[in-house]
Amino acid sequence: MRKVIHNELYTKRFGIELAQKLKPGDIIALIGDLGTGKTTLTKSIAEGLGITEMITSPTFTIVREYMSGRIPLYHFDVYRLSSAEEMNELGYEEYFFGQGVCVIEWADKIMELIPQGSIIIRIEYGINEEERIYHITNIT
């Protein structure tokens, strides 16, 4: 599915709506360059899950956990990993197959670990400065 996101307001709406449908164990893999709004989208998903904590960039610590919402949120940024094996160090299976929702930024770095049934959102720049194009697929 292709979706045109005109600006940040649409990102927010999309994230909140997506969050309503999420259930424990769901994984959302985000793929897109710097500045395409991966963290912004994650913030909206968190808002939709009813998370009250502030969502900050997980770049430094790779994963951050948020427990205040309807379902726990595990927010990953795997940019700095050089290989998928390094995810083992983090004990990623407990997150991926746990009771929360995982949102993974730079998921293309660890594609072989993304389980079946995950939602992949590939984000590209649009024609206008604030516009983004979402390509949404499911891993089956």
In the complex, which residues of this chain contact another protein (CB under 8 A)? 33-35, 37, 39-40, 43, 54-57, 59-65, 79-83, 85-86, 89-90, 125, 129
CB closer to another protein, 1 vs 66: 66
Cβ neighbours for 26, distance < 8 A, ≥ 6 positions apart: 101, 102, 118, 119
Instruction: Output the smallest distance, CB 22 to another protein, in A.
Output: 22
Instruction: Output the smallest distance, CB 58 to another protein, in A.
Output: 9
CB closer to another protein, 1 vs 112: 112
Instruction: Output the smallest distance, CB 34 to another protein, in A.
Output: 6
User: 132: part of which helix (H) or strand (E)?
Assistant: strand 132-138
Structure tokens at 124: 């590209």
